[in-house]
């Protein structure tokens, strides 16, 4: 992240970060257990990675969510990718996008 912010200070497009939650995750985890919840998160991550470039970093964040770091991405690009992730998801998602404003 620090390298991306440094690059943004030089006038290049800055990073965007997307926080994504899997809606209804807690209910799945309660009904079917931690293993089922973890399996769901792995399944979601595998399906999403097919849409990501090698320099885009997806990390699990807490029980029900992910953080996605998009180097040199505009807010519009981050929203477009988030929509693609929503379309391929087996579950509903909620997401928030934050982009570096240079």
| Catalytic (active site) residue 38 | no
**pLDDT tens sequence across 29-40:** 999 999 999 999
Q: Identify whether the C-beta of residue 33 lies closer than 8 Å to the C-beta of residue 26.
A: no
| pLDDT digits 0-9 by tens, 26-85 | 999 999 999 999 999 999 999 999 999 999 999 999 999 999 999 989 899 999 999 999
Contact 66, 45 (CB under 8 A): yes
What predicted TM-score, i.e. pTM, was given to this entire model?
A: 0.85
Which of 23, 63, 64, 101 is flagged as catalytic?
64
CB 63 within 8 A of CB 37: yes
Q: Which CATH architecture has domain 2-99?
A: 2-Layer Sandwich (3.30)
């Amino acid at each position: 992240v620090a390298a991306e912010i440094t690059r943004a200070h030089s006038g290049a497009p800055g990073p965007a970060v997307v926080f994504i939650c899997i809606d209804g995750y807690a209910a799945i985890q309660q009904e079917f257990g931690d293993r089922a919840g973890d399996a769901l998160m792995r399944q979601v991550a595998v399906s999403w990675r097919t849409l990501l470039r090698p320099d885009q970093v997806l990390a699990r964040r807490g029980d029900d969510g992910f953080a996605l770091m998009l180097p040199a991405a505009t807010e519009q690009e981050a929203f477009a990718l988030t929509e693609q992730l929503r379309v391929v998801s087996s579950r509903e998602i909620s997401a928030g996008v934050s982009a570096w404003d240079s």
